[in-house]
Structure 1
């Protein structure tokens, strides 16, 4: 089978060939139809992600496809079931074996390309906004990186939860995508003074930040008292350094959010969140924004789209 592998953290991932794997006792084997790319794939390829597998490994954190083999001790699934899986790795391949507990059944009407773009982005934003920040109707939500994979879902979910959503992104095209997702106010990160605009709006109750760097600093300085900041990631490459005395002055809370970590210590939080999200999808209330669908042979181009920030929403690799 064809796979997109990382052989070295100093050499770009490339296509290779491996035997089709057999599932272990509690695993399912999935004939992969589509794999969603995430910024974390870039970090994993470079060896800088918090959960980087030993070399060599196959990239691809989240997949969708059809079960074609079952290991012993697997219950709740059958051959031919359509599933989405957050495997953490192994998705950019024609077949993958994954722990059955990481799989969810798909609604019949959900295309594989939607399913492959769904779990990480929507799961991260829903967990962050509902479980961590406890976002309330009428509050002001500032979303940084608002046209990215997780950013657009934060805009969409924030609007569904009744917030006034302020979207910050770079350039007219990305801001248009954020506006289409439900943003009430747009801030161009290239030309606007983020802090000044937010001050004019009365400040933020919740900040959703997958960017870090200078944007975090500007957003922090424009927070209202008792604001909650959600630290999602650091796409800018700069990890903010927070002065505790500044948190104290306005009673600000900073929440770290690592969606995949809940699989280890509180998986029910994720399963309950995904159940809500799947119900929203089936009701037509949310819809993944996929800007690029590429074949496996162009997986490297898909990674470059993320690296150069040339995409909006999600990039999906279509395997079969």
Structure 2
């Protein structure tokens, strides 16, 4: 029997630690009890930010989101993140004027961080994160003449930025996906994206002008790692902003590099490509993300107009004179024939008597 002293000192007795029989053998092991600690959201972010998010603009935005959340929680330490804390946090963000779409982005960052902390044993309970309903906003995309003017202004500033712009609008990829390409990702007429937001790789064919812009001009020196690795996101965005201001689009806050992805998707849908294929092309994780462009598939509805505008077949003149349907008229005619026959027979008998 295990003594009290053995339990207190953590010394397992032979009888308790192992039970043997002819058919089974059960062995118990003892783990040390882990101390429950409390953390601030900001501390958890510092611990896991480099594991959960790659360097870049998205990581910068997440850092801003988490910093705001830590501020709203007044730096409170916790070992369990309960539902009431989350609900109060969402309510405060909404009072600050945050839209549901903005709240969803901030809660996505918080959820990812807390799930990692829970998995690592830093916190021992999680709330239920529910996505807020978002309104379908208007999607801005470039017209052909806007693209021509903008790209010309970009080309006058940087040939590399121009080549990247053409690649983005024809491939529909994200800016980070293009900048992360290496030469091994390009094979014959196709390009593969391995570093993606959804974590799923995809391969798409290239247009003719994409095949041209991925070719680097002949220069002296060492060949770069990929077709667009000479540029950083910050450099490209600076060139983009200068160019869009030159062509009169500076006041349009939707004309950002990501508009090239919207433009590609819009052109695919307007060209008659079905939504499922557009989803595969863009690498959307869910079809609902691609459905934002479904309203542009107006060609699919053209057949409805043809049906509605087709004239109805004209009614024959006889049908207009006889209000009864053809089947009803036939029945009425069948009923009157015996009566007429009877009248005719009576008239014949009277004539013979006279």
Structure number having the greater helix percentage: 2
Structure number having the greater strand percentage: 1
Q: For CA contacts below 8 A with separation 6 or more, give which structure has more relative contact order.
A: 1
Over alpha carbons, which structure has the higher Rg?
2
TM score, norm. by length of structure 2: 0.27
